Amino acid sequence: MAVITAFTVIISGYKICTFASAGASATLNQIVEGDDNAESSPENAGQGVSDNAVQGAKENTKGSSESKLSSLPKALSCSFILPEGFHATETPGYYVNEYYPLESANVTYHVSVLPQEKVLTNAQKAAGESADTSEYLLLYDELTAEKYEELLRNSYDGLYGADVGFIVDSFENKDFDGFPGYLIRSSFIPPDSLTIRQVTAIVLSGNKVFTVVYSRADDDDFEDDITMSLESIHVIQK
């Protein structure tokens, strides 16, 4: 099994490949950050998210002035063990099973470095400008199952050009070595495809958000392997 570790990293122009048999594995990071250069069709590797999803993130954070993430301890790194038989692809942070495409399960790993506060002039303060360089990430410290489902549903519906019935099956607050986060199980059905099952682990810290997405088609038997990999997630404080 390979151990995946990330230190101070932000993936520039990060895009997630979509394998048709497994569906997309978009992370919430992509949606709240946006990707102006991304394509928005599964035929083009599933890169990108819908404008509606990004707008939804803006509306959900409208009026927020300070992220609670800034009060959390900072993380040096996050690591986890890939399920046995998975290997890296040419896309950074994207891993597939050795028997792909017969076995279509995949893992996506993304690290988002949180923006630093800007120093505002008196005029900027008077105009009500936020000191945070991005309001998107404020969504993380008040994420709910309803918000997550809305954002991902809009993203996948826009990606596939159809209603894929994205739903959140379970949404838990979870502790990862003293760092708060979420464990989310969800599913959706792309056109002419089997149901896609996803497990998403989101780890929050004062300087980074780590996201691991495990995605498999309904007939891929990797539930035990995914559980073992989830249990191997560890975070080291900076």
For domain 3-237, the question of CATH label 3.40.1000.10 is answered with yes
pLDDT band at 112 (very low <50, low <70, confident <90, very high): confident
229 against 15, higher pLDDT? 229
Q: What is the pLDDT of residue 202?
A: 95
17 against 238, higher pLDDT? 238
Q: What is the pLDDT of residue 58?
A: 52
| Residue 36: pLDDT over 60 | no
pLDDT band at 237 (very low <50, low <70, confident <90, very high): very high
pLDDT band at 6 (very low <50, low <70, confident <90, very high): very low
Q: What is the pTM of this model?
A: 0.77
227 against 101, higher pLDDT? 227
Please write down the long-range contacts of 199-204, taking CB distance under 8 Å and 24 or more positions apart: 199/226, 199/230, 200/27, 200/28, 201/174, 201/176, 201/230, 201/233, 202/28, 202/140, 202/143, 203/75, 203/78, 203/176, 203/179, 203/233, 203/235, 204/69, 204/72, 204/140, 204/141, 204/179, 204/180
pLDDT tens, position by position, 151-174? 899 989 988 899 999 999 999 999
The full set of domain ranges for the chain reads 3-237
